[in-house]
């Protein structure tokens, strides 16, 4: 999976299914998922009111692994091999806008939305 694609599926679907020597890439089928487009639309509409859980779901979908804070810290660090780590403080009710904008920029979400979600609107 390259960083321009976003999927909300479990790890078991990341495996390629081989049937009669024809490979079906489950990830290709999931491209342009309605849930992804809806979440991105909400993020772009108002980045000030994004819940931590939504940002967490987005980062996990791009392949980032969260590392929970220890000893009283509220900052979660998301890591992905070959990418810069992203640190987001856990704050209720909403994550600060600066962290949401940082994720948008690092994951190039505007380009993803233009390619995969604009057609649906």
| Distance between CA atoms of residues 1 and 68, nearest Å | 24
Q: Which two tokens stand for residue 90?
A: 């856990």
**113: pLDDT strictly greater than 50:** yes
* Helix boundaries (H) for 1-121: 26-30, 34-45, 52-61, 97-107, 109-116
pLDDT given for residue 24 in this prediction? 36
Cα angle value 20/21/22 (rounded, 5°) = 90
pLDDT over 50 at 6, yes or no: no
Q: What is the pLDDT of residue 20?
A: 35
- Edge-to-edge, what's the strand order for the sheet holding 75-79? 65-67, 75-79, 86-89
Residue pLDDT, tens place only, 54-106: 999 888 888 889 988 778 788 999 999 988 899 999 888 999 999 999 999 99
pTM of the shown model = 0.68
């Amino acid at each position: 999976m390259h960083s321009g694609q976003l999927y909300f599926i479990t790890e078991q679907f990341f495996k390629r299914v081989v049937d009669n020597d024809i490979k079906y890439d489950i990830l290709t089928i999931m491209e342009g998922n309605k849930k992804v487009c809806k979440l991105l639309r909400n993020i772009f509409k108002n980045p000030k009111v994004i819940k931590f859980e939504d940002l967490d779901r987005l980062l996990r979908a791009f392949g980032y692994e969260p590392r929970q804070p220890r000893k009283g810290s509220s900052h979660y660090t998301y890591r992905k091999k070959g990418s810069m780590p992203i640190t987001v403080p856990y704050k209720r009710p909403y994550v600060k806008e600066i962290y949401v904008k940082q994720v948008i920029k690092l994951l190039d979400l505007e380009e993803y939305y233009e390619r995969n979600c604009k057609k649906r609107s």
